[in-house]
Structure 1
Amino acid sequence: MGKRRSYTEEFKRDAVELSLNSDKSVKEIAEDLGINYGNLNRWRREYRNKGKHAFPGNGKQNLTPEQKKIKEIEDELRETKLERDILKKAVGIFSKKPK
């Protein structure tokens, strides 16, 4: 079984730009670049939907400043809830009367 190929963000952007600005068909461009036609179509769709935030690579997300702030606040809230739960348990343990 062959190794899965990965493409850089720059390559994907260039391929999409070429397919959008060329007189050739998407299938011809995919063949010229040596990539799968389905991949190029998926990249074009992702580029249309996300614009400059498309192709973050390796599961990373290109977030807007607002999305980054929301993620930071959600992470802080999750950590604060965990600390609160630990403190509740500690209070329960230390407030028990010894036998």
Structure 2
Amino acid sequence: MGKKKVAAYTEEFRREAVRRSDQEGVTAAEVARELGIHPGQIYNWRRQFHRLSDKQFNSLNGVDYSKKESETERKLRRENETLRKEVEFLKKATAYFAKNRE
């Protein structure tokens, strides 16, 4: 018998599921049914979100959402992270082509 494959959900997906289940008049079971997951999973994510906010559900694409920042600051941080990765790539490409030129 093989291991059962566990689906990996993005942090964004988990946050949205918890947010939707916290809305008035909506149950976790309803949201879980819509998303095709077990309701217990939403309860686990909610517990993690509330209890472990400094460890779980706090960063995405280099942006720390546990801090109080404006959306503009978050946008700039995301852009900065993207540019940082591009610079790293260009450094590696430059080194590679410089090596081949010799």
Instruction: Give the TM-score normalised by structure 2.
Output: 0.48
> More helix by proportion, 1 or 2?
1
Higher relative contact order (CA 8 A, sep 6+): 1
Task: Name the TM-score, length of structure 1 as normaliser.
Answer: 0.49
